Structure 1
Amino acid sequence: MAELVEDQDDSTERITEIGDLEEIDTALHPVAIAVGLAAVVILLMLTIFAFSASLKSGSSSAQVDQVTVPRMAGRSLAEAQAELERMGLVVEAEYNSNEVIPADTVIGQDPVAGSRLEVGEQIILRVSDGLAGVDLPDFAGMKGPEALKVLKTIGLLGEVEDVFDEQVVPGLIVSSAPAGGTRAAPGSTVKLRVSQGPEPRTVPEIVGRPVGEAIVELARAELTVGEISRQFSPDQAPGTVLSSDPAPAAKAPRDQPVNLVVASAEQQAVIPDLVGLRSSSASKVAKAAGMTTAVTNLALIAGDPRVGLVISQTPIANTPSAAGTPIQITVGILLPTTTTTVAGASTTTTSQPATTTTRG
């Protein structure tokens, strides 16, 4: 093969003959071939390694956390379920009859304790369905004796326990143990909790306090205010509680009235006992006590021993009252009679009882 080479500095052209291409015999160059193959193998291995590392990295990033399954046998279903759910497991309960283990108690599990589960996987708890026995009715609201009869009829024994309850009427059953709707072994004892009504309240310490504060304290103790009477006390300020009935620290049923005696600024008199006295005598006794009388007459039939006497009075005797308080007394009087003559015969007629009121 000839190559034309042009010389820029010389105007003449020179042609130099290089010759034909030389063919290389591969058999004469084994080292070059080995190096090439090695390079290809290395490149392939690097590619495989990179791909494997990529897969491993992706698998590691998608791996789910695992937990060790604890032993649940002997624990209540509610307790076991709460713990397993906190660990991220899904709980399914399967009930099985059991003559020994109480109801709602775990008696087995799948998988067993010590197994490894991924978060979100399911664990099955086998739970006791309870003892075979007698179905218990709901005794709440029944009377104690009635419930005892029912228990005897179904082959069970009854035991009464008195309890305080703010809502259930005394004498009625609040609850039972075992509860209604469950089962009890034949011949076993069922405890009946019978209401005794609200728990007694304690009368607060109100003596020596103003009556307004005493009323508030009684309300806080769920007691009510009964009769408030006045009594002269030179040592206590007017309106101060001198005593209470029931006394402070005593026990009283809820909402029971508590009577109060409160200090008065004025000397008070005591209502005299006028019942059984004649009207004139009653007026004198009342006047001597610094009081007046208002008389109401009640007509009585002849022969009634109360004619002419004080039958009743208001206020009642021996209660303190301010001076000048009028006392209402009822005095018996003889019922008037009339005589009627018809055709030579006379008839006596007694008028119906009547009342009249006078003041003196």
Structure 2
Amino acid sequence: MVGLSVKQATATLQQLGLSADIREEIFSEETKPGLVLASDPGGGGKVSVNGTVHLTLSKGPERITVPDIAGASVDDAIKAIKEAGLIVGTSTRAFSESIAKDSVVNTSPEIGTPLRRSSAVNIVISDGQALGGKSYVGLFSDQALNEINDAGFTVNTIYAYSESVAVGMVISQTLPTTIKAGQKPVVTIVVSQGTAYAYVPDGLRGRTLKEATAAIEGLGLKVAKPKIIGTRKNKVVINVSPAEKTKVKPGSTVTLTLG
């Protein structure tokens, strides 16, 4: 009988003048749902004429879903895990922007994962918001660096150009989510280097080539070989290309016309 479907087992027993009765269904890791796991009496056993053979069917593998304990207190989470037929594994802590301190952030395996009975569920417990949720965006990087270090964090500083945030001010920050034993959590701040562009200086017209060149190169720009027009002996700048006050990329070339 073992391994047969109910229909197959019933048909086989009827050929022997016997009837089938489903006694119970139990979980089995090896046998598919609906198939016979055992019979009473077993194969080769004696049964009276027109008697009944009691069958035990498989319900297939037993799987228990990890309960939804996100946001629950640690005590309630442990209770829910145990009541589900699972066991509590390790617990770690992590920062969370949305889960209150000392409440459960998530689990591993994830909530909703089907597991065998008595499998371990690890829980992650909230340590609240890193830095208490304080934002340093728009503040000077020196202040951010000092306060973050004083709070027990390590600062990772990245520099980036910005057209809207002044030099030395914080453009953005990334707070840590994980906490590793023996290591300071890392806060990353992006600090403005100011604009990525330069401006062709104003007031170049009327200056000598030497004066204009010094002003242009002082901004990280280059000066092309000047164009010379006219017969004037002491020539000065009469035209600039690109025009004065034009926004250009660093290293761009400016052409002067002297006359």
TM-score by length of structure 1 reads: 0.25
Q: Which has the higher contact order (CA 8 A, sep 6+)?
A: 2
Is the radius of gyration larger for structure 1 or structure 2? Answer: 1
TM-score by length of structure 2 reads: 0.34
